[in-house]
A and B are shown apart, each in its own frame.
Chain A
Amino acid sequence: MKLFRMLGRSIRDAIKSVIRNFSLSLASISCITITLIIVAIAIIASYNVQNFTKEIERDMTIVVFLENNIEQEDIDDVEKELKSIPNVEKYTFQSKQEVKKQMQEESDVFNTVLENWDDEESPLKDTFQVKVRNVEKLSNTAKKIEKVDHVSVVRYGSGMVDKMVKAFNSVEKVTFGIVIALVLVTVFLIINTIKLTISARRREISIMRLVGASNFTIKTPFIIEGMILGIFGSIVPILITTYGYLAFYRHFEGHLYSQLIELIKPEPFIYQISGIVLLIGIIVGMIGSSSAVRKYLKV
């Protein structure tokens, strides 16, 4: 009962203080707003990078070309060998007729060229398309497959794709670093603004201590004030990221530059981001205010 009464008073005091020190509150709210917008953008970017690097990794395939005019028995042997390699997740067989058909469907040029070849003289080969469990061991696995009898050539997206994944990974790390740095900056900003509100209420705090208020009682209104600032500060960033991302997604129709880079679907992604932004705002406000008030609670 008593706890609820105290909590009620703390909330009332916190709201009063936010209103009473309106200009100061507005200053810290705008500080939080600006940083949270940047933080939110950085988070969205880093999630998207993470997402499509994974997507690309998932799409990486080893294509195993078999020798010309291979017998069905030998195909079965190759299949057995593939099965025995631990890093192979799954594989699909595509006969040269199927390959031909697929290529013909893809382009008119191929269509007319391929038309003239029958099975015997076709340059196309029977293939296995292999997906691996661990992309980092892709080249190793490819080499192993190459050694299997009746395998003529092994192709995998070495070079380009490999480098791309690495580049994205480092981009991801950099954005993560930026997010952390920005959050720290915001904490410092809030510590300073709450310190200003507190020093305006120094007298009140010293009187509270004199009349026997516990540290908890003194601290709570300020911590709640910090949380309120955090909540207000995250409203605009949430709106901007939600509607901004929706518009961004619609404008690019879910893909950036090429089919390869796929954006995360807005739902439920934007809600998660909003939640994270709100949480960061609240936590940052709390940490800032509680560390600011600590100084005044020593004798």
Chain B
Amino acid sequence: MDLIRMKNVEKKYKNGVTAIYDLNLAIEKGSFVFVIGGSGSGKSTLIKMLYREEKPTKGQVIVGGLDVAKLKNKKVYKLRRKLGIVFQDYRLLPKQTVYENVAFALECIGEKKDVIRTKVLKALEDVGLKNKVHNYPDQLSGGEQQRVAIARAIVNDPKLLLCDEPTGNLDPEKSLEIMKVLEDINKMRGTTIIMATHDKEIVNKMKKQVITLKDGHLVKFKQKGTYVE
């Protein structure tokens, strides 16, 4: 079954720049997909349309049965609860501990305290941070902070995990650690993962599906692909 389907999607920003031209795409449940391409190729726009940070100007974007383009501003939270998002800059709350940062995602949707506790500890265990529960973000390394962000993204058991350059700020070694965590999540939890990146090494090493974008056009969608300029 397809988790994501995009049909004739076009995105034109208000300043007149067109980021995506006529994109057609179907992504299966449980898959691990890289989105690659140079700067300005439309990677980020594609990811943003999937969590409705941006609305497509034309066409249809369906995520887990929800028509994202038609989703009203007030109902966006319904989509967001189905997916987790990880960014290059982690986006953690600096004044809250690791535990509080992850629990925050569940508190926002009104989960019970004991449920929060079990889920948060499980998520932190999955990313390998169970011993840093009471640390603050600034006491952690970049890789660890990103793992906290991943834990926050998966704590609600989303069907889909969107990653926008999650290794962009990390050195190769830490990047591989993150990729290991993501692969485990993909395998253990069955979470579909879509990751935008321009890190050649990672893409070549992981041998996953690859979507190549260039200047807003879909160039290639390959199984077990590699990074091609």
Give A residues with C-beta under 8 Å from B: 2-3, 5-6, 9, 203-204, 206-215, 217, 297-299
Contacts and interface: CB of A to CB of B under 8 A. Distances in A.
B138 interface: no
A211 B156 contact: yes
B51 A210 contact: yes
Nearest to B73: A299
8 smallest A-B Cβ distances: which pairs?
A: A213-B108, A212-B81, A212-B80, A211-B105, A214-B77, A2-B110, A212-B77, A6-B110
B80 A211 contact: yes
A82 B192 CA distance: 94
B147 interface: no
Contacts of B112: 5
B52 interface: yes
Interface centre among B108, B109, B152 (most CB of A within 10 A): B108
Contact of B108 (A2, A3, A217, A298): A217
Contacts of B81: 212
Contacts of B79: 212
Contact of B73 (A2, A6, A207, A298): A298
A9 B108 CA distance: 9
User: For this complex, into which size category does the number of interface residues on chain B fall?
Assistant: 20 to 34
Interface of B: 51-55, 73-74, 76-81, 85, 91, 93, 104-105, 107-110, 112, 152, 156
A221 B54 CA distance: 27
A209 B93 contact: no
A217 B55 CA distance: 23
27 contacts: A5-B112, A203-B91, A203-B93, A207-B104, A208-B108, A209-B80, A210-B85, A210-B91, A211-B80, A211-B105, A211-B108, A211-B156, A212-B77, A212-B81, A212-B108, A212-B109, A212-B156, A213-B108, A213-B109, A214-B77, A215-B73, A217-B108, A299-B52, A299-B53, A299-B54, A299-B55, A299-B76
Contacts of B51: 210
Main secondary structure of the interface of A (DSSP, over half): helix
A214 B74 CA distance: 7
Contacts of B110: 2-3, 5-6, 217
Given A204-B93, A211-B152, A212-B105, 7 more contacts: A5-B112, A208-B104, A212-B81, A215-B77, A217-B110, A299-B54, A299-B76
A7 to B, nearest CB: 10
Nearest to B149: A207
Interface centre among A2, A210, A299 (most CB of B within 10 A): A210
B201 to A, nearest CB: 28
B76 A207 contact: no
B93 A215 contact: no
A9 B116 CA distance: 14
Nearest to B101: A207
A2 B109 CA distance: 9
A215 B91 contact: no
A32 B80 CA distance: 38
B109 A211 contact: yes
A215 B74 contact: yes
A5 B115 CA distance: 13
Contacts of A5: 110, 112
A198 to B, nearest CB: 15
Contact of A210 (B54, B73, B80): B80
A207 to B, nearest CB: 6
Contacts of B105: 211-212
Contacts of A217: 108-110
B74 A207 contact: no
Nearest to A299: B73
Contacts of A209: 76-77, 80
Contacts of B77: 209, 212-215
A219 B44 CA distance: 28
B188 to A, nearest CB: 21
A217 B106 CA distance: 12
Interface centre among A207, A209, A215 (most CB of B within 10 A): A207
A217 B107 CA distance: 10
